[in-house]
A and B are shown apart, each in its own frame.
Chain A
Amino acid sequence: DAKTTQPNSMESNEEEPVHLPCNHSTISGTDYIHWYRQLPSQGPEYVIHGLTSNVNNRMASLAIAEDRKSSTLILHRATLRDAAVYYCILNNNNDMRFGAGTRLTVKP
């Protein structure tokens, strides 16, 4: 199974950009890269997904390396409400495997 590797934790200051990295060196051609986040005491929340091209939505941007072996989730201006565990997942035919994710702490 294709797996992802993320740092266990990261810190950011409020209103600064945050770049959350993810390595997925064994990604296959049909795997989509998904990001979810989980706020305390809540279920995971979809953030963004992409296949090859960079993607933007109202929550974040996703930058995908040309060889697709890594990607970066970009929060343009972190807020205290962005403090959560962020999961990078490879999705193939609705078969998603959540890893441990990155715990993001946002400091005021």
Chain B
Amino acid sequence: DVKVTQSSRYLVKRTGEKVFLECVQDMDHENMFWYRQDPGLGLRLIYFSYDVKMKEKGDIPEGYSVSREKKERFSLILESASTNQTSMYLCASSPHYHEQYFGPGTRLTVT
């Protein structure tokens, strides 16, 4: 079975802190994605990556950056956390054009 793991299920940070969300997949997938999910807004794509050291902006990249130094790991970085970044963050990986496999999510609260 494909496994996508995220570093934390719950995280509480203060406004202005730098936040790292880690995602690891164990199936050698080329593609990895970061989404956030908010009530009434569904899932929105933040960034995705087709290969190591490559990244593409999604719908809402502002306030976020990403890093993919190794194929299995895709990190989402909040340079200076703000309260409007309180959300559920979901990572996914995909071997090809179809079938994204999602992790369990990290619920981030910024106070």
Contact = CB atoms under 8 A, between A and B. Distances in A.
Contact of B43 (A42, A44, A95): A44
Nearest to B90: A43
Interface in A62-103: 87, 91, 93-101
A94 B102 contact: no
Contacts, number: 49
Given A93-B97, A94-B48, A94-B97, A100 B42 contact: yes
Contact of B101 (A46, A94, A98, A100): A46
Contacts of B43: 44, 87, 98
Interface of A: 32, 34, 36, 42-46, 49, 87, 91, 93-101
A32 to B, nearest CB: 7
Nearest to B39: A100
B98 A34 contact: yes
A91 B105 contact: no
B104 A46 contact: no
25 contacts: A32-B97, A32-B98, A34-B98, A36-B100, A42-B102, A42-B104, A43-B104, A44-B90, A46-B101, A87-B42, A93-B97, A94-B31, A94-B48, A94-B50, A94-B97, A96-B45, A96-B100, A97-B45, A97-B59, A98-B35, A98-B42, A98-B44, A99-B42, A100-B42, A101-B42
A34 B30 CA distance: 20
Contact of A43 (B44, B45, B92): B92
The 4 A-B pairs at the shortest CB distance, nearest first, are namely A43-B102, A98-B43, A98-B42, A46-B99
Contacts of B97: 32, 91, 93-94
A91 B31 CA distance: 14
B94 interface: yes
Given A94-B31, A94-B97, A44 B45 contact: no
